Amino acid sequence: MAPVDNGADRLVAEQLRYYRARAAEYDATSYRAVPAERDSVPAIVDRLGISGDAVELACGTGIWTAELARHAATLTALDGAPEMLALARRRVPPSVRFQQVDLFDWTPTSSWDVVFFSAWLSHVPADRFGAFWSSVAAALRPGGRVLALDELPARSFHEDRIDDEVAVRTLQDGTTHEIVKVFWAPNLLVNRLASLSWRASVTPIEHDWFILEARR
């Protein structure tokens, strides 16, 4: 019997369809198009002190992938959208491995010293949060670190929001799509992760972004 679809299933499926359709215009309509934001990416990655084997989740068009590749001994990049993966592949050295993975149905078969994701945590709905972090725990080697970048609540004015979890995005062709968009307050995020046995800290950085660092 087919599983019963609920609102969260519909929303995460629509979110992935939205990013597949947005891939070709992503660099022109994301922070990549804002020079001050785009130009700060290499220095932010330099500050993270990344070494060893790394995996990037939801790599998109490879804006961060290209910088992570300068530091990691090996780099694997995952995304659910083949259109995103194709664009990211063009941006990085051939040593970077790519895999198409639905992160809401991900059982890691390898483990890494660093698990990195940018602009992904805010797309994880509350009812998938625990399962997502279980997958991340399975992907992390003992002593490893999660490093994630996302937007502080101060940036929520950019969004056409329906409620605390759902926003509406419009593509250049005029089509509209509902996606998950959660603006985490740092203290709530740290406490939520503590309830899942993560030791986490959140550091606000430029552009009202934050860096999350988490360990088991």
Ligand X SMILES: C[S@@+](CC[C@H](N)C(=O)[O-])C[C@H]1O[C@@H](n2cnc3c(N)ncnc32)[C@H](O)[C@@H]1O
Tell me which residues touch ligand X (CB under 6 A).
Answer: 12, 15-16, 19, 30, 58-60, 63-64, 79-81, 84, 101-104, 118-120, 123
Alpha-carbon separation of residue 58 from 61, 95, 113, 120, 184 (angstroms): 9, 18, 17, 6, 18
Work out whether the CA dihedral 47, 152, 203, 114 comes out positive or negative.
negative
Number of other CB atoms surrounding residue 123 within 10 Å: 21
Minimum CB distance to ligand X, residue 142 (Å): 25
State which residue, 37 or 213, has the beta carbon closest to ligand X: 37
Work out whether the CA dihedral 194, 102, 18, 35 comes out positive or negative.
positive
State which residue, 12 or 202, has the beta carbon closest to ligand X: 12
Contact between 24 and 86 under an 8 Å Cβ cutoff? The reply is: no
Minimum CB distance to ligand X, residue 12 (Å): 6
Minimum CB distance to ligand X, residue 194 (Å): 25
State which residue, 30 or 201, has the beta carbon closest to ligand X: 30
Query: Residues for the chain: how many in total?
Result: 216
Minimum CB distance to ligand X, residue 2 (Å): 19
Minimum CB distance to ligand X, residue 32 (Å): 7
State which residue, 19 or 112, has the beta carbon closest to ligand X: 19
State which residue, 116 or 198, has the beta carbon closest to ligand X: 116
Q: Which residue is nearest to ligand X (CB)?
A: 60
100-115 burial: b if 16+ Cβ within 10 Å, else e: ebebbebebeeebbbb
Minimum CB distance to ligand X, residue 164 (Å): 18
State which residue, 119 or 196, has the beta carbon closest to ligand X: 119
Can you list the pairs that 125-130 forms with residues at least 24 positions away whose Cβ atoms lie under 8 Å? 125/8, 125/11, 125/12, 125/165, 125/180, 125/182, 126/165, 126/182, 127/8, 128/8, 128/12, 128/104, 129/192, 130/196
